[in-house]
Amino acid sequence: MDHIVKEFQDLQDDICAGIEALDGKARFEQDTWVREGGGGGRSRVIRNGSVFEKGGVNFSHVFGQLPDVITQKLGLPKGVDFDATGVSIVIHPESPKQPIIHMNVRYFQTGDGTHWFGGGIDLTPIYVVPEDAKFFHQSLKDTCDKFSPTYYPEFKEWCDKYFFIKHRNETRGIGGIFFDHLKADTEEKKADHFDFVMAVGRTFVPAYAEIINRHKGEEVTETNKQFHLLRRSRYVEFNLVYDKGTKFGLDTNGRTESILMSMPPLAGWEYNWEAPAGSEEAQTIAMLKPQDWV
């Protein structure tokens, strides 16, 4: 466990350095926190930069007795101890021409020997650009293919299903990969799973930097700004209604500020909004469905 914790801490450091270099102005602020019941973490937030309006890169390592609400969901006995660690990221650019991104890598184990890895990375453009979506998915596929030819198609489908806003009948963005309960029956296989999880983490900065740099300096209209707020509202709706990580954090008495760092600084809800026919906004809404990008 100590090795995994240390590697995740290093991953947080490296990603923060990459995001700061990409922004060129703002620097991360850090809060360290302690969880009542065991463990704690490092919450890092970047704000009001030249590129990023708000972003969070969080590390946590929490342990103790698993709450009954979680043991029931996982089918575990009451009173079992748990130990969990991970890195969670959400970045909100200021420009609607640059996409929101989310990544999470995590490890969970219990006192009875149960353990698994989980994680994923997905992209939420305000305006879907097919060339960006293809590049992003190819980057993830290249990472997955180094470990198994089945990973990308399986985890891509899982992501499409997971990041689906049912009450809107649309995907949150253009997807990516998502996996959970990645278990191993040997130490060798466990090590391989951890290498894969870290490879996903290392894909974050170069893939995101390429897309951010493609759209630096693009003109933004008032219509773009209003659509930005609406698309952010969909992000909020998903995280508060469906996201399992948010629910797990709140159910285990995690730090609320760290759990809700995924929220954008501003979002908007317009009653009965519809995209004008033939508009860029209508084109994006039409593409918010599971599809093959590579």
Q: Tell me, what's the pLDDT at 176? A: 97
Per the domain annotation, does 72 fall within a domain? Answer: yes
8 Å CB contact between 124 and 105 = no
Count of residues in the chain: 294
Percent of the chain with pLDDT over 70: 99
Is 125 part of a structural domain of the chain? yes
Contact 53, 265 (CB under 8 A): yes
Largest CA distance in the chain: 57
Q: Which of 116, 125, 113 is nearest to 86 (CA)?
A: 116
122 forms beta bridges with 102, 176
Distance CA(163)–CA(151), nearest Å, equals 18
Rounded distance, CA 140 to CA 111, Å? 33
40 in a domain, yes or no?
yes
Rg (CA), the chain: 19
Dihedral (Cα; 153, 74, 34, 86), 10-degree rounding: -20
For residue 294, tell me if it sits in a domain: no
pLDDT band at 15 (very low <50, low <70, confident <90, very high): very high
Query: What's the domain range around 86?
Result: 2-287
Q: Which residues are catalytic?
A: 102
Per-residue pLDDT tens for 69-114?
A: 777 776 777 777 888 999 999 999 999 999 999 999 999 988 777 8
Asked whether residue 270 is assigned to any structural domain, the reply reads yes
Residue 204 is which amino acid? Answer: F
Q: Does residue 116 sit in helix, strand or coil?
A: strand
Q: Is residue 292 part of a domain?
A: no
In the prediction, which pLDDT does 112 show? 75
- Give the chain's domain count: 1
- Determine the Cα–Cα distance for residues 238 and 254; give it in Å rounded to an integer: 19
**Which position has the token pair 């897309």?**
211
In tens, the pLDDT along 164-213 reads 999 999 999 999 999 998 888 888 999 999 999 999 999 999 999 999 99
Within-domain flag for 293: no
pLDDT at 184: 83
CB 268 within 8 A of CB 229: yes
Supply the CATH number for residue 269's domain: 3.40.1500.10
Mean predicted lDDT score pLDDT of the chain: 92
Q: Cα–Cα distance between 66 and 288 in angstroms, integer?
A: 37
Q: Which two tokens stand for residue 13?
A: 């450091």
**Residue at 162 is within a domain:** yes
